[in-house]
């Protein structure tokens, strides 16, 4: 699971880790240097004690070795050596050594003079206790420095990233459709200014794109209106002709219906491209059953070469304040999608309360990732289309607040479910 860290926390953590590592390094250097210095001082003390004791023994062979709470001295020799010499120091070579006698830590200095081995021991137990306390003090200091650095880093990070937060706030308040305002002029810091300049360039491009899209949609709407009006007028004149036989009359009626549908669909698609809600301006009280019968009639004619029965099952009449063109496009794409994947069999269109179901007896969706079918240019395993129908259905459902789901039927085939009145506050999702 990925944790989303704010830039402020990242800066504070980075400073804390850096300070902790630096303080740990310094503490290690201090501890090692202190330890080496103490050993050097002890060795110097042992050397001085050896010099003194060797000089006294040379003046007086019967001189007793020094025995204090910290220092003990011995002479190892065939004749004239001290008594009760511990076995651990008898064979020590000349030089400095660390050893343990009776669970006590000692530092030993050994010197060979005229077949006599002089040994001086220095009790380092108290020194080791002081080193443990000093090590604890250094550890606490490292932790304290790390904690203070984290706290100070967080406070400093607030001031450091304040311009970035302000830029983010300003960008979130911008609307590409509003008059452009230069952000770069409001931020004097070089790095933030460069970021603001990038935002200015992006917003300018987005503004230009929206303006081109507005002009395009306006031109399309204007240019389509005239040929559609001509076709509509021509069909009205032909239908008014009493000499027109029944067969041609039905053909002209289909042209007239297609022309009206084209006008409605063009308006709906243009509204979708402009990201404008259209329910408030074009929605009327619409009988869902009538729209479904129109769609079925249209696609029965288009797919009459297939041995497929389209069955409308109205379990409960449904009347809604919806846009006729939007509902027709959604149902049309769902029905066409079902008919495209079946060569013979049945397609059911069921209407019940606020739910419309389109199910077929075809091969099914043939994909493990059903949600991807709602993406543009994504097609099912056996699809020969462009992969735009279900994408259009998805966007229209989001525009109107409907909800669409696709599933495989247990007995085979696919099932599309369209909820026209989702629960209040529910977001359309597949």
31 and 74 share one domain: yes
**What CATH number is attached to the domain comprising 244?**
1.20.58
98 and 239 share one domain: no
Give residue-wise pLDDT tens across range 32-81: 998 888 888 888 888 888 888 888 888 887 777 778 888 888 888 877 67
Overall average pLDDT of the 397-401 stretch: 82
The last residue of a domain, from among 125, 157, 189:
157
200 and 77 share one domain: no
Give residue-wise pLDDT tens across range 152-198: 877 877 777 777 777 777 777 777 666 777 777 777 777 778 888 88
Note whether residue 353 is domain-resident.
yes
Long-range contacts of 180-184 (CB under 8 A, 24+ apart): 180/204, 180/207
The last residue of a domain, from among 276, 307, 333:
276
Q: Phi first, then psi: give them for residue 115, nearest 5 degrees.
A: 65, 10
Query: What pLDDT, on a 0 to 100 scale, did the predictor assign at position 350?
Result: 92
Query: What pLDDT, on a 0 to 100 scale, did the predictor assign at position 430?
Result: 34
Confidence of residue 423 (pLDDT cuts 50, 70, 90): very low
Report yes or no: 109 and 119 within 8 Å, Cβ to Cβ: yes
- The model carries a pTM of 0.47
Cα gap 137→113, rounded to integer Å = 44
Cα gap 418→405, rounded to integer Å = 7
In this structure, the chain runs to a length of 430
Cα gap 76→71, rounded to integer Å = 17
304 and 411 share one domain: yes
Report yes or no: 397 and 404 within 8 Å, Cβ to Cβ: yes
135 and 47 share one domain: yes
Secondary structure letter of residue 189 according to DSSP? S
Q: For strand 307-314 and strand 344-352, is the pairing parallel, antiparallel, or unpaired?
A: parallel
Query: What pLDDT, on a 0 to 100 scale, did the predictor assign at position 427?
Result: 38
198 and 323 share one domain: no
109 and 244 share one domain: no
Confidence of residue 425 (pLDDT cuts 50, 70, 90): very low
Query: What pLDDT, on a 0 to 100 scale, did the predictor assign at position 269?
Result: 64
Q: Crossing angle for the helix pair 246-273 and 324-340, nearest 10 degrees?
A: 110
Place of tokens 């804390």: 16
Cα gap 322→279, rounded to integer Å = 6
Confidence of residue 352 (pLDDT cuts 50, 70, 90): confident
Query: What pLDDT, on a 0 to 100 scale, did the predictor assign at position 280?
Result: 40
286 and 258 share one domain: no
313 and 242 share one domain: no
Domain carrying residue 401: 278-419
Give residue-wise pLDDT tens across range 263-310: 766 766 666 665 544 444 456 778 889 989 988 887 887 788 888 889
254 and 297 share one domain: no
Note whether residue 125 is domain-resident.
yes
Cα gap 77→18, rounded to integer Å = 58
């Amino acid at each position: 699971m990925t944790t989303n860290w704010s830039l402020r926390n990242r800066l504070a953590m980075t400073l804390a880790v850096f300070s902790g590592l630096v303080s740990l390094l310094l503490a290690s250097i201090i501890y090692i240097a202190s330890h080496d210095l103490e050993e050097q001082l002890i060795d110097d003390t042992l050397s001085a004690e050896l010099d003194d004791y060797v000089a006294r023994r040379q003046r007086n062979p019967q001189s007793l070795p020094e025995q204090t709470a910290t220092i003990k001295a011995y002479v190892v020799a065939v004749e004239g050596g001290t008594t009760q010499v511990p076995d651990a120091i008898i064979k020590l070579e000349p030089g400095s050594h660390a050893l343990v006698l009776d669970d006590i830590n000692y530092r030993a200095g050994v010197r060979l003079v005229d077949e006599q081995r002089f040994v001086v021991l220095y009790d380092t137990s108290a020194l080791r206790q002081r080193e443990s306390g000093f090590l604890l003090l250094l550890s606490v200091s490292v932790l304290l420095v790390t904690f203070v650095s984290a706290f100070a880093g967080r406070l400093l990070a607030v001031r450091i990233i304040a311009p970035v937060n302000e830029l983010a706030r300003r960008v979130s308040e911008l609307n590409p459709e509003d008059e452009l305002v230069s952000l770069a002029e409001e931020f004097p810091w070089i790095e933030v200014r460069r970021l603001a300049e990038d935002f200015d360039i992006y917003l300018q491009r987005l503004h230009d794109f929206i303006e081109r899209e507005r002009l395009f949609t306006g031109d399309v709407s204007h240019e389509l209106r005239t040929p559609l009006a001509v076709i509509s007028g021509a069909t009205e004149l032909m239908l008014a002709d009493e000499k027109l036989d029944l067969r041609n009359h039905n053909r002209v009626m289909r042209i007239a219906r297609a022309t009206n549908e084209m006008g409605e669909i063009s308006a709906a698609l243009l509204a979708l491209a402009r990201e404008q809600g259209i329910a408030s301006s074009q929605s009327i009280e619409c009988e869902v059953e009538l729209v479904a019968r129109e769609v079925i009639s249209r696609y029965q004619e288009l797919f009459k070469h297939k041995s497929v029965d389209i069955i409308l099952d109205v379990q409960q009449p449904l009347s809604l304040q919806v846009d006729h063109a939007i509902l027709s496009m959604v149902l049309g794409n769902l029905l066409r999608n079902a008919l495209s994947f079946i060569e013979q069999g049945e397609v059911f269109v069921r209407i019940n309360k606020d739910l419309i179901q389109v199910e077929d007896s075809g091969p099914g969706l043939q994909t493990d990732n059903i949600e991807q079918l709602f993406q543009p240019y994504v097609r099912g395993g056996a699809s020969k289309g462009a992969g735009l129908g279900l994408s259009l259905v998805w966007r229209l459902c989001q525009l109107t607040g409907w909800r669409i789901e696709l599933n495989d039927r247990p007995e085979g085939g696919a099932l599309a479910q369209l909820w026209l009145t989702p629960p209040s506050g529910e977001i359309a999702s597949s």
